Chain A
């Protein structure tokens, strides 16, 4: 089995992450921040170390670094939390449902007014889309850094700068970019939401919300935090205000280990490897008639390639490839807006390598895609 579905979640995980998970299960069995005994204190230290590692990686303060269940959880907290008093919200037309659905739900309840900024291959035109939609009551802009469907990189720094000039909260979805690009809050991002289990190589059930603290985030979940226990009200202090209930401590430790792996391997080296695999995949197939790649020369892309094979639906192609031992995701990738933007009514097949894939594996995939292309039904 060869996994090219790493945009959904990376697999395999680095050895360091697997070891960290085993060590966490063995040694960090207390509840972080909830007791004074040795087991709780040791566990709390481990959670803080992971928090500090993540904070350093993204240029945030440790206390402004919140562990979440996944990127969707982080985006829901950010969008609902910042927009709790209403106002105008702008999202891009390449958003994942993790951003689009909470935004649409708020709009349906008439709690916010919602605009969708059209994304173009040309970054300047995309930036203009956002600029034109800004109103006096615009409170937040939500934008993915890299599309989970095509990998297209959006001009997030420029959008961040625009938001800063207008006093608007910029919420960035880094699910497909973090761990591959050097994303920092200082790049104009007020709130960065990301998954812990994708490019950061942690286990599933992990995500991060990092904030510069400029825009308050009203909690959407209240509960035990280990602090201010006698108060019936949620503490206002981060990270406690956004971390009710026992956190995924083992998961957080693996995120810390995953970031450690990226740092020691080298982010530029990792990115270069994945980009090389994407180039190889495209170069080997672009001369094959009937293969459509959803890439535009005017745009830049993260190491994700969406494609279709003429004569097959995306689901059929992925199923046939799965029968040959390849894991690729087909369909709409939980991103209805993005597919509407690129005009793929039947969805696409997504090729998403990780640092652990090899050129040989890509060549095997290419060979099998060519076979599919020549099947009588295709």
Chain B
């Protein structure tokens, strides 16, 4: 179903170890032109609740930025492709 005015994008979901790292990642990525936002993890992991950074596009560019700043993250397998950024 197509919703008027909403662009459906491929997104990359990065699970973050803490909210502090989620905000750090978001600010690093936004400063480099990656549209992204922080969302509560909808599925809890084995460690419990947490936060993810949803980045528009593929993971490759975002991962390069975060790795460059030693920001820990885990790429979510099968990231949702219906997120609205």
Interface of A with B (CB < 8 Å)?
Answer: 32-33, 35-36, 41, 44-45, 48, 51-52, 62-63, 225-231, 235, 237, 239-240
Contact = CB atoms under 8 A, between A and B. Distances in A.
Contact of B47 (A36, A48, A228): A228
Contact of A44 (B19, B27, B44): B19
Contacts of A36: 39-40, 51
B20 A62 contact: yes
- The main secondary structure of chain A at its interface with chain B is loop
Contacts of B57: none
A51 B48 contact: no
B23 A48 contact: yes
A226 B40 contact: no
B17 A237 contact: yes
A329 B46 CA distance: 54
Contacts of A227: 17-19, 47-48, 50
Interface residues of B, number: 19
Given A48-B24, A227-B17, 14 more contacts: A33-B18, A35-B40, A41-B38, A48-B19, A52-B27, A226-B18, A226-B19, A226-B49, A228-B47, A229-B48, A230-B46, A235-B18, A237-B18, A237-B21
Interface of B: 17-21, 23-24, 27, 38-40, 44, 46-51, 72
A64 to B, nearest CB: 10
Contact of B24 (A32, A35, A41, A62): A62
Given A36-B40, A41-B38, A63 B46 contact: no
27 contacts: A33-B19, A35-B40, A36-B39, A41-B38, A44-B19, A44-B23, A45-B23, A48-B19, A48-B20, A48-B23, A62-B24, A63-B18, A226-B49, A227-B48, A228-B17, A228-B48, A229-B47, A229-B48, A230-B46, A230-B48, A231-B47, A231-B48, A237-B17, A237-B18, A237-B72, A239-B20, A240-B18
Highest count of chain A CB atoms <10 Å: which of B18, B50, B51: B18
Contacts of A240: 18, 20
Nearest to B39: A36
A328 B81 CA distance: 64
A162 B50 CA distance: 42
Nearest to B41: A36
Contacts of B40: 35-36
Contacts of B47: 227-231
Nearest to B47: A228
Contacts of A231: 47-48
- A-B complex: 5 closest residue pairs judged by Cβ atoms: A36-B40, A229-B48, A33-B19, A230-B48, A48-B23
A35 B19 CA distance: 10
